[in-house]
Structure 1
Amino acid sequence: MTGRDRLRELLDAVLDEDNRTLTQMAEGAYASPYHFSRVLSRDTGEAPVAMRRRVMLERAAWRIRQGGSVTDAAWEAGYESLEGFSRAFTRAYGHAPSEAATATGTSQRRSTWLPAANGIHFHPPTSLWVHTTEQPMNPLTDQLVRHDLDDTRVLLDLAKGLSEEEFRRIRLPGHEVSSWEGPEESIASILEHHVGTKEVWLAAIEGADLPERPDDPTAADLVARHDDAAARWLAVVRDVDRRGAWDDLLVDALCEPPESFQLGSVIAHVLTYAAHRRQTVRHLLRAAGVDAGDGDPILWLRRERGDHAEDPAEEHGGDQG
């Protein structure tokens, strides 16, 4: 007799196919939702809904790399829309599910793992793997970067609902965020600079040509550009953190003359101006009669961890336009 493994019972309840909400998980473990969440969070450092969401994405990545369809993987992971799944997958892995690379053996298993301080991961075909030497991304950096990307998407979606006149109306005459980037006087111009900043720095880091930035992009254009840049930006920051490359120097040949930048300062630069632009856009959206919320990272993190989200499919699936 090995005795009762209560933690394993709780984890089994999290990953049971039929348990998609916190209430269902708790019932499967014969516990109240409060007790279930408190014990699992204490013992693993991760809330149940957030753990299920992450492990289900890891399983989806494995399914796709085994030749499964993206649609089937999305359904099995609990997402009610392919768009919601694709967005969550891209945000997590830094590339779209359709671009998942093929690998074999140990490299395949570990290439599907997402950062997790507790080392708990999906292990094919239906098990868990506990990796005891996990090196998670710095949680503050991770939260700052992902909050910026998610909040930007929220604002862009709100901007899509504006008329062209409201989107491009000059509301802050002469307003400049930085002295070298010119005026940002409308919701349209601020969001274009906001998205374009990441595109330019990505080009410098990746050694690519300066990206094309068409005049007068629509809000839908900016959504597409953001979704592409967001995945790449998250992957870059995670790679810098993984390698401990914060002090590495980037020689930016796109500057005239070429200039060197410390990678840590580049990321701090992007986050600083991003926060300013997001809150400025939020203020202008309110002036246009749009409820843009507060953009509070505290509330965002609670949703991310599932503290107030019963159903991960509802939270990250069909309700995102």
Structure 2
Amino acid sequence: MQPNGRDRLRELLDAVVDDENSGVGDMARSSYVSEFHFSREVRRLTGEPPAALRRRVMLERAAWRLQRGAGVAEVAEAEGWSSAEVFSRAFRRAFGVPPSRADDVGFRLTAPNGVHFHPPQALWCDAGPGETAGPDIAQFMLVHDVADTEYLIGVAAGLSEQQWTQEISPGQVVLDWDGPEPSVAAVLGAIVWTKEAWLATVEGRDFPSRATSSEATAEQLAAHHHAIGKRWTTLISEFSAAGRLGDTVIDALCDPPESFQLYGIIAHVLTYSAHRRALVRGMLARHGVDVDRGDPLEWMRRD
């Protein structure tokens, strides 16, 4: 799997700030590229030459250390400066005050790219233009949930028919009203059926038969999930765009009738879907099947 653009930036920044890389040549060698290519790529992704980027980040880290009580000579040596005097001059040029007055300034310097030192030993990349608000987290989780369920159904399709329905976890119950879910088929079917049932509630449709999910083969469930997942994400996106996630549906099929706000329904579905997906991973492992961890961070890095 090739890293995406953000991961490539991380790799380049790692090389820039690595304490063992004293010059651009060292940075390039640690990244297995030529010095020319390394410098060009860092400048393209950050708008700053690698040497200038390293110098600024190291000065930010130095300021933070000084603010925590470290001495000037100690910081100068730790950050690789040839002497405390050279470090002091560079610090004054960057921050406008001598190191002895580090407490008077923040440790961040103006940057063309939003890349800064982040205590104690990390980097922070500010969101770029247009990314300030970040993505819609609820929508992100919805899409990840559907994608991860699709992945698990695909993996489970490699089980034998006997393994698919085998009660490998007898007596396993997630929610009392859903009944036992002892097999991979039962748990994955419950994930899909839960969305289908709530879709019917919100859309005003007849309550669906559970057999479509509970009695399906892995291939049949995959096709059914594809349709349900698309309807589910589309519906929630439309309500979100219209600012209607606070709408309430009163379900008269419940005894007594109950009211549910849409954002609560979404949280309920995502919570129990995540729990069931974790159960499926454990059950697949007991069948001797390797699966990924379902981590959204790892999923984001896939091509």
Q: TM (normalized to structure 2)?
A: 0.56
Q: Secondary structure at the match of 2:288?
A: coil
* Partner Cα separation in structure 2 for residue 141 and residue 164 of structure 1: 35
Residue segments in structure 1 that go unaligned for 5+ positions in a row: 1-30, 40-116, 120-133, 304-314, 316-321
Kindly tell me: are residues 37 and 192 of structure 1, through their superposed partners in 2, closer, same or farther at Cα, counting changes over 3 Å?
A: farther
2:287 is matched by which residue type in structure 1?
A
Given that 1:204 and 1:253 are in contact with CA atoms closer than 8 Å, whether structure 2 keeps it comes out as no
Distance 2:46 2:184 in 1: 42
Deviations 1:86-138 (A, max 9, x none): xxxxxxxxxxxxxxxxxxxxxxxxxxxxxxx977xxxxxxxxxxxxxx9x895
Return the alpha-carbon distance in structure 1 between the equivalents of residues 183 and 43 of structure 2: 49
Distance in 2 (alpha carbons) for counterparts of 1:285 and 1:301: 23
> Aligned runs of 1:1-321 on 2, under 5 Å?
32=40, 35-38=43-46, 139-214=136-211, 215-303=214-302, 315=303
* Cα offset, 1:256, TM superposition: 4.5
Structure 1 pair 223–34 and aligned structure 2 pair: CA distance change class (3 A) = farther
CA drift at 1:246: 2.4
Question: How many equivalent residue pairs?
Answer: 185
SS in 2 for 1:162: coil
Unaligned runs of 5+ in 2: 1-38, 48-127
The 3-state SS of whatever aligns with 1:180 is: helix
Residue 302 of structure 1 deviates from its aligned partner by 2.4
Letter of the 2:144 partner, please give it. H
Cα deviation, residue 173, structure 1: 1.2
Provide the rounded CA distance (Å) in 2 between the counterparts of 1:246 and 1:237.
8
Given the two structures, how large is their TM-score scaled by the length of structure 1?
0.53
Question: Displacement, 1:289?
Answer: 1.1
The residue type paired with residue 158 of structure 2 is G
Contact 1:138/1:241 (8 A) holds in 2: no
The 1:170–1:261 alpha-carbon spacing in structure 2 relative to 1, beyond 3 Å, is: same
Deviations 1:32-70 (A, max 9, x none): 55554556xxxxxxxxxxxxxxxxxxxxxxxxxxxxxxx
Question: Which residue number corresponds to residue 9 of structure 2?
Answer: none
In 1, the alpha carbon distance for the partners of 2:134 and 2:295 equals 22
Q: Which has the higher contact order (CA 8 A, sep 6+)?
A: 1
1:245-295 CA deviation, whole Å, 9 max, x = no partner? 222101224434542211110000000000000011011111111111111
SS at 2:182 equivalent: coil
> Match of 1:113?
none
State the alpha-carbon separation in 1 of the partners of residues 46 and 146 from structure 2: 29
Runs of 4 or more above 6 Å deviation: none
CA distance in 2, matches of 1:171, 1:231: 30
Change (3 A) 1:38 1:285: farther
| RMSD of Structure 2 on Structure 1 (CA) | 2.7
